[in-house]
Amino acid sequence: MSFSLPETFAKLSRYPLLYPSPSPIHPLPTLTRHLNPSPKAGPTVSLFAKREDHCSPLACAGNKYRKLEYIVPDILASSNPHATLEAKATTTLVTEGAIQSNHTVQVASVARRLGLEAIVILHKATGGGLTASSDKNAFLRTGNVQIARLLGAEVRMLENSSTVDDSDPITPILEELRAQGKVPYWIPSGASLHPLGGLGYARCAFEIAAQEKEHLGENGRFDYVFVACGSGSTVGGLIAGFKMLQKIEAQTRQDEKAEGPIGRKVIGILNSPTKPREYHEGRVLAFARRAAHLIGLDSERDVTPEDVHLDDRFAGTAYGELDPTSKGALELIAQEEGVIVDPVYTVKVMRGVMHWVEEGELISDWSRRLETPSSQNRVNALFIHTGGQSALSAYADIQ
């Protein structure tokens, strides 16, 4: 399957890390029936999954590889913002995350692909996964920690998120590497704070649009897209990409004098209660506007606060902590659909999807969005599975 990007977007450098074909989309028929108990009462919500956990041949495929595709060309550039006095080639990728971070594993895997060293910095104090674990030793050595080490990464665990004098703990590590003659390249947690972090999912929006025809027919579309919101650039990139598509489609309708469908609505499900929803909304808006600018949109005019929709009701008790409700959802999805979600991100997204459908919130929202009566008897919702199942073995309480 092929799809075209606008000229400005297509010119941006990208290093392929994904399979040549798009990550698959498939229906979730059992959950669809389970969550639509009274289909005759109104439109049915049809559920689909986009399997980003099947997107790449590299270790623990997941959403970070899409982000890294646009960052790798900068890593490989002969001169980069982390070089010392002379422009030197990068020798070492350095990144950070929580103990069971998916992002750090994918950075370590990319380092292997590029022939570089990797240093993974894991924060014990981030989230509640370690605190809540009944087997802390297993949590610290299995799952993604084990895989990062198998990939040859040097794993450093920090007790606190700051050094003794409350300064940034990362700077001394980068300075240490430079003193050894190495050239480190810093990739922030989740790659969101990297200037190019949102581009991968702006591109994914075009991929999803191309797949809609295959699954929903010539005029079908995914009316809702549910995705995890952690560091925020996956959500922000999708918003930017779909806004660009909306603009292109509007121009086509103008040329053809045709009326178009309602735009796709991205709903980010927050997975951490640490910061208030408003904080994350500001971050996602900033990431969406940054990506929008890079792909050729007017970032202020084309992306507005009204485009950011985040739901914080399913974040649970702490980041990385699998509470009983989330555990029940994980088991239900496995047993109903044979699909395994991860204990940190996608289980909370599926909790959100299930609630939105089962409680009638999605249909109510759809009705509010309609400007004119519609004969549409089906609303299509896409769940983006961003991977992360490799962390499951660290969660000893899952049986």
* Three state DSSP letters for the chain: CCCCCCHHHHCCCCCCCCCCCCCCEEECHHHHHHHCCCHHHCCEEEEEEEEHHHCCCCCCCCCHHHHHHHHHHHHHCCCCCCCCCCCCCCCEEEEEEECCCHHHHHHHHHHHHHCCEEEEEEECCCCCHHHHCCCHHHHHHCCHHHHHHHCCCEEEEECCCCCCCCCCCHHHHHHHHHHCCCCEEEECHHHCCCCCCCHHHHHHHHHHHHHHHHHHCCCCCCCEEEEEECCCHHHHHHHHHHHHHHHHHHHHHHHHCCCCCCCCEEEEEECCCCCCHHHHHHHHHHHHHHHHHHHCCCHHHHCCHHHCCEECCCCCCCCCCCCHHHHHHHHHHHHHHCCCCCCCCHHHHHHHHHHHHHCCHHHHHHHHHCCCCCCCCEEEEEEEECCCHHHHHHCCCCC
Whole-Å CA distances, 299 to 233, 244, 350? 15, 11, 30
Kindly name the residue from 56, 101, 133, 192 that is annotated as catalytic.
Answer: 101
Residue 244 CB neighbours (<10 A): 24
Contact 221, 186 (CB under 8 A): no
Is residue 101 part of the annotated active site? The answer reads yes
Cα separation, 101 vs 189, in Å, equals: 9
Contact 196, 353 (CB under 8 A): no
Cα separation, 137 vs 144, in Å, equals: 14
Contact 181, 89 (CB under 8 A): no
Catalytically active residues, by annotation: 101
